[in-house]
Structure 1
Amino acid sequence: MAKLPLSPIRAGGKPTRASEHRLEIDGLSFEVHRSDRRKTMQITVERSGELSIVAPSKVASEQLVDFVEKKLLWIHTKIEEKSRLQQRAPSKLFVEGEGFLYLGKSYRLRLVDNQLVDLTLKNGRFCLRKNSIHRGREIFVAWYTRLAQPWFETQVLEHANRMGVVVKEVKVQDLGFRWGSFSAGGRFSFHWKAILLPPRIAQYVVVHELAHAHHSDHSARFWNRVEQHLPDWQWRKAWLAENGIQVEGL
């Protein structure tokens, strides 16, 4: 992949390097995605701190550089903000009325005296046995994992049929900062927290990982594959980067 020459040194004192799929400026590295459907440029700061730009196909690299330079203060502020939010994400207290997400909706917690199981979701409320509060996080994680397994199995198989992907295994587990992962041989894993996301966002995570069965990197071919099956993937990806932090803290 041929790279453009270094641009003149700008006010910040650091050279800029641009290529077809990546832009490096001010010590930051951006993954560049182009689309014929895109009308404007947009910068996304992932919760992991990774940076990406979505731009119309015909936008020149020089325009991308100018766009990023004008947004540098906002970008650095956003990176610091996400870092602080991750460090200070409040832990759940498992008290009456506290909200817990499930498939994008928040349900209030009700503490009950008598219940056959530790946790249920009924009548629009999470019901937790009072004598199980000390194991609250463990109970919720187990509940989310159990419900996420069949949900993601269904989604993976449904989209895999359309994307020409052979699926051997679907697992739900703690993946740290990753929403999902793909391993050779048709094995897919998803973070249990992904079941807290709205369905359309969780579906993007599924299609993203299925596309990796065809392309291991995040090349233009990879994003073209995603776009074939989710034409509106860009806003879903941006929503996840902007709002995914809200599922932290359990």
Structure 2
Amino acid sequence: MKQADYRQVEKSITRLIRTNRQTMVIVIENDASVTVRAPKRVPKKEILDFVKSKKNWIVEKQREAALKVRQARAKKFVEGEMFMYLGKQYPLIITEETNYALKFSKGNFILHTKCQPTAYQIFINWYKKIAYKYLSQRIEYYSGISGIKYKNIKINSAQSRWGSCGLKGTINFTWRLLLASPNIIDYVVVHELAHMKELNHSPKFWSIVKSIYPDFLSARKWLADNGHILNI
């Protein structure tokens, strides 16, 4: 492969993660970005050759991911439209008879009429606020029963990751998690908490996850199959 081709392939990789794993794997994330996981000592040229050999597969999977994202984001923020919250769908009511830009009450999302033009950002702000409260409670619970310590949590708008570990014990979660059912949220919380002890995805890491959340496999599969719907 020519040098120019290598540069082109390298540009197509969003994230290259080297761990103690034995094989290389390509993951097409929900936002169609490309993550490559590879052993620490594999030469970069070998990684790029591997990615190049999977070009057609990558393109097809990116098309599928992009379609799912477009379908999931087709919200118009109109009366009666359904929005997810903790794994269930709830209707949107638009009214002038509210003192809030957006609130959730008695199984309905209630949006002030004047806020309809900026409803997308208002919803995200609401999800972030509630996600911080909810996830703080869940991680505190699992930290207590596992004995694994963390410093604090932050809520972001990540599209390709459900959670991540920052420096000095900070754990980041995307607000999109609040759309998932409680059992899925708990799995992600435990997953990130386990990274406080094991930064990789080694057998030891999964053993920690299983010891805290035994049903992690079904939750992990659900996210892989349905994570694209957790958006607005």
Question: Which category of TM-score, normalised to the shorter sequence, fits these structures?
Answer: 0.7 to 0.9
TM-score scaled to structure 2, two decimals?
0.74
SS of the counterpart of 1:97? Answer: coil
Task: Find the counterpart in structure 1 of residue 141 from structure 2.
Answer: 158
**Residue equivalent to 2:172:** 189
Q: Look up the match of 2:91.
A: 108
Could you list the per-position Cα deviations for residues 144-201 of structure 1 after superposition, in whole angstroms to 9, with x for gaps in the alignment?
Answer: 1111111111111110122222221111121231111112422111101111111100
Amino acid at match of 2:112: R
Residue from 140, 150, 167 that aligns with 1:167: 150
Match of 2:182 in 1: 199
Letter in 2 for 1:169: N
Give the alignment partner of residue 147 of structure 1, picking from 115, 130, 144: 130
Instruction: State how far apart, in whole Å, the 2-side matches of 1:133 and 1:46 are.
Output: 31
Q: Is 1:180–1:190's contact at 8 Å kept on the other side of the alignment? A: yes
C-alpha displacement of 1:81: 2.1
| 1:1-250 equivalences in 2 (<5 Å) | 21-24=21-24, 29=25, 47=30, 80-87=63-70, 89-248=72-231, 250=232
- Tell me the number of residue pairs that the alignment of Structure 1 and Structure 2 aligns: 193
Inter-partner Cα distance in structure 1 for 2:214 and 2:207: 9
Aligned partners of 2:143 and 2:193 also within 8 Å: yes
SS of 1:181's equivalent in the other structure is strand
- Between the aligned residues of both structures, percent identity stands at 33
CA distance in 1, matches of 2:137, 2:72: 31
Residue-by-residue CA offset, 1:89-121 (whole Å, 9 max, x unaligned): 433111011111111111011111221111111
**Structure 1 SS opposite 2:168:** coil
Q: CA deviation at 1:231?
A: 1.2
Measured at CA, do residues 75 and 236 of structure 1 come closer, stay the same or move farther in structure 2, by a change above 3 Å?
farther
What is the distance in 1 between the residues matched to 2:35 and 2:218? 16
Distance 1:75 1:226, change over 3 A: farther
Q: Secondary structure at the match of 1:185?
A: helix
Shift of 1:223: 0.8
Question: CA 1:78/1:30 → structure 2, altered by over 3 Å: closer, same or farther?
Answer: closer
Q: CA deviation at 1:242?
A: 0.6
Residue deviations 1:188-238, cap 9 Å, x none? 111011111111001111000001000111111111111111111111000
Aligned partner of 2:3 in structure 1 is none
Structure 1: distance between partners of 2:228 and 2:36: 15
Higher helix share: 2
Runs of at least 5 residues in structure 1 that lack an aligned partner in the other structure: 1-19, 32-44, 53-73
Taking structure 1 as the reference length, the TM-score comes to 0.69
Please give the alpha-carbon distance, in whole angstroms, between the structure 2 residues aligned to 1:135 and 1:49. Answer: 31
Q: Is the 8 A contact 2:151 2:168 kept in 1?
A: yes
One-letter code aligned to 1:181: S
Provide the alpha-carbon RMSD of the alignment: 2.6
Take 1:95 and 1:203, find their aligned partners in 2: how far apart are those partners? 31
